[in-house]
Structure 1
Amino acid sequence: MKQDKNNTKPTFLFGKRNYLFMLIGIAVITLGFILMSGGGSDNPNVFNPAIYNWQRIRLAPTLVLIGFAIEVYAILTKPN
C-alpha cells in the first residue's frame, strides 16, 4: 500500500480486477494439485496402476500451468 502525500487515503498496488484474477489463478492451481494427489495403496507390496491415469498425468499438470499463466496475467494487467 502506498500513501499519497496530498491524499490520506491509501492506494493499493493492484486493482480489484487484478486481485480477482489472482484468486482465480490460485483456485485453479489448488485444483490442479488436488487432482494430482492420491492414488496410493494401503498395502506397500501391492502396485496401484491408478497413479498413471489421465487425470494425474495430463489434466492436473495442465491446470497448474494454466493457473500460473492466469497469475502472470493478473500481475501484468494494468489496474483500472
Structure 2
Amino acid sequence: MAKDKQAGAPTLIRDEPVKRIVTTTLVQPKSVPTRSSVVEPFRRDTAAALPFGRQNYILMLIGIGVILAGFFIMSLDKEEFGFGFLGLTLGPIVVMGGFVLEFFAILARPKVA
C-alpha cells in the first residue's frame, strides 16, 4: 500500500468536508439596440415569394391540358381494346408532348420583371 501512495500527494479523508471555491463575477448589462421611430414598410422579395414565374405556371397548366387531351383522344378509339390509330399512336404522342411541355415549364427560368 505504501507504494500506491505518492509522497507529498494530498489525500482526502471521508470525514473531511470538501472545500469548494465559489467565484462570482459581475456581468455588465449589454446595451440593447433601439429601434427607430420611423417604421419602414415590409417588402417581400418577389423572386423569393414564388418558386416559378407567371410564364412557368401558364406553361404547366397548358401541359396538364395537353396530357388530358391525349388521354381523351385515346378514349375515342373505337377499335377493340383501343388497338386503333387513336389509342396506339396519336393519343400517346399527345400525352408525351404534354409531359415534355411540363418538363420544360419546370426547368424554364422565370423572367424577372
User: How many aligned positions are there?
Assistant: 68
Q: Which residue type is aligned with residue 63 of structure 1? A: V
1:25 matched to 2:56? The reply is: no
| More strand as a share of residues | 1
Residue equivalent to 2:54 = 16
| Counterpart secondary structure, 1:78 | coil
How far the C-alpha of 1:52 sits from its partner, in A, is: 1.8
Q: Which has the larger radius of gyration?
A: 2
Q: Structure 2 CA distance, aligned partners of 1:57 and 1:51?
A: 7
TM-score with structure 1 setting the length: 0.72
Among residues 60, 74, 85, which one is paired with 1:54 in the alignment? 85
Gap runs ≥5 in structure 1: 1-5, 41-47
Conservation of the 8 A alpha-carbon contact between 2:77 and 2:84:
no
Q: Deviations over 1:16-62 (max 9, x none)?
A: 1001100110000000111112557xxxxxxx547221111100000
Q: Normalising by structure 2, what TM-score?
A: 0.52
Report the Cα distance in structure 1 between the residues aligned to 2:44 and 2:80, rounded to whole angstroms: 61
Higher relative contact order (CA 8 A, sep 6+): 1
- Percent identical pairs in the alignment equals 37
Report runs of 4+ in structure 1 exceeding 4 Å deviation. Answer: none
